[in-house]
Amino acid sequence: MSAGKKTLEERIADVIRLLASDKDGDVIAAACALKRVLASAGTDIHGLAHGIENLGKNAEVSKEQMKQIWEAAVQHTENRLHGADDFISADGKPTWQSVALFCQRNKHRLRPQTHEFVDKMASQTVYGREPTENQHKYLFALFLQLGGKII
């Protein structure tokens, strides 16, 4: 294979990334390109969907490995959208404000009982009100539960 030739997986990933455009024409063009790339490989959208559904069923990939792959993908997306340093203060730890907003953006991944608390903490960022010590601990516990890291 030549140095400039991309694998099928890389071509599919490139086209899928184009689907994130905010321009409808680009999204339609990307969807058509995805269909062409898949056709060149002898499959279609249904084959791609079937492959994704059955990734975890493959004997070579355990459920734990699939979970790790998914978590890595989520973390990659969050880092790409927010930057790795968005949550870090001068002392190297995340600020409670950025943690609260992160939790609010991801509250759909938390138990419904926590949603009101997360929204309250996020609303306090507007006024700069510090959470109590217990609120602070609980907020950071939710942050860690969502995959946030404290370095």
pLDDT the model gives residue 58: 57
Across 7-11, 49-53, 104-108, the highest mean pLDDT is recorded for: 104-108
pLDDT the model gives residue 1: 47
pLDDT digits (tens, 9 = 90+) for 61-94: 677 776 776 666 666 666 555 544 455 555 567 7
Which residues lie across from 94 on neighbouring strands?
Answer: 88
Share of the chain above pLDDT 90, in %: 19
The pTM of the full predicted model, rounded to 2 decimals, is 0.44
Cα gap 60→70, rounded to integer Å: 16
Interacting residues of 146 by C-beta distance below 8 A, sequence separation 6+:
102, 103, 106, 109, 110
Contact 107, 72 (CB under 8 A): no
Q: How confident is the model at residue 37 (pLDDT cuts 50, 70, 90)?
A: confident
- Vertex 140: Cα angle to 135 and 142 (nearest 5): 95
Q: What is the domain partition of the chain in residue ranges?
A: 1-54, 85-145
3-class DSSP state of 94: strand
